[in-house]
Amino acid sequence: MNYRRDFLKKSALLAFTTLGTSLIGKDKINTVEELLLKTGDGGKYTLPALPYAYDALEPFIDKQTMEIHHTKHHQSYVDKLNAELEKADPKILQAPYSFENIFKVASKVQPALRNNAGGHYNHSLFWQLLKPNPESKVNVPGGKLGEAINKDFKSFDEFKKEFSEKAVKIFGSGWCWLIEQNGKLKITTTPNQDNPVMDLEIEKGKIIMGLDVWEHAYYLKYQNKRADYISNWWNVANWEKATELFNNK
C-alpha cells in the first residue's frame, strides 16, 4: 500500500516535472542535438503536442492560427515526411532516418523529402521557441546569450532591428534564424522549409532562435502585414529556450 502510494506520488511528481521542463510532451527534446537524432516512434514521425494551449500566445499570436498551424500545416509535414521516407532512395539515404541523417544529404534527396523533413523539424523547434507572455512583459534574453548578443550586435535593440528587417524582407515563404557559427552569432534566412543545419549552399550553424514567416503563420490575424506579426512576435520569443540551445555546446 505504502509502496503503491509512493509509486503514485513519484509518478505524479515525475509527470509534473516532465510537464514543467519538457516542451513537447512525450517527445521530450532538450537540445537541438536530441531533436536531430530523433527518428520517430517505430520509424514513424508523429506530431508533437504543443507545450501550451492554442490560445496561450494571445494577443500576439491568435488561437485559430496556432491551431491550424499545428494540426493542419505541421501535421501535413509529418504525414508527407513519413510517406516520402517509405520511398526514399537507399543509395542516397539509409536508415536510421534521423533528421541529422536526412539533413546531411538534403541537397541530394527528393525535394519533397527535404521540404517535409525541414517542415517537421523547423516547426518542432519553433513551438518550443515560443512562450506565453499574457502580461506583455519586456522580453529580452539575459545571461550568456544576452551578453553574446550585445557583443556581436552591439545591443539587443540593434539585433532586434536587424533580425526584423531580414525577416520582413524574405521573399515568399521562409525562416529567419539566429545561429552560432564559429563562436559568433549571426542572423540568416532560408527559403521554404530549409534550415541552417541542412547540407546546402547557405549559412550553416547552430540554431539558437527561429521565426516562421510563412503566410500561414500570421495571415488570419495580420493578413499581409508581416512586419506587424514580427513586431508582436518579440513578445512571445522564448529566450529561456534559446539560452538553453546556446549553452548546449
Shortest Å, Cβ 73 to Mn ion: 5
Q: How many CB atoms lie within 10 A of CB 88?
A: 17
Question: Could you give the C-alpha distances from 183 to 29, 126, 136, 148, 164, in angstroms and in order?
Answer: 23, 23, 32, 9, 22
Q: Judged by CB under 5 A, which stretch of 32-40, 96-104, 127-135, 207-215 contacts Mn ion?
A: 207-215
Q: With contact defined as beta carbons under 8 Å apart, do 188 and 202 qualify?
A: yes
Shortest Å, Cβ 211 to Mn ion: 10
**27 touches Mn ion (CB under 5 A):** no
Count interface residues toward Mn ion (CB under 5 A).
3
**Chain residues 98-137 in contact with Mn ion, contact rule CB under 5 A:** none
Nearer to Mn ion, 97 or 229 (CB): 229
Q: Judged by CB under 5 A, which stretch of 12-20, 85-93, 211-219, 231-239 contacts Mn ion?
A: 211-219
Q: Judged by CB under 5 A, which stretch of 170-178, 190-198, 204-212, 218-226 contacts Mn ion?
A: 204-212
Tell me the CA end-to-end span of the chain in Å, nearest whole number: 45
3-state secondary structure of 44: strand
Nearer to Mn ion, 238 or 243 (CB): 238
**214 touches Mn ion (CB under 5 A):** yes
Binding residue for Mn ion (CB under 5 A) from 212, 226, 239, 245?
212
Nearer to Mn ion, 153 or 229 (CB): 229
DSSP codes of every residue in 155-216:
SHHHHHHHHHHHHHH--SSEEEEEEEETTEEEEEEEETT--TTSSSSS---EEEEEEE-SGG
Distance CA 6, CA 21 (A): 22
Binding site for Mn ion (CB under 5 A): 212, 214, 217
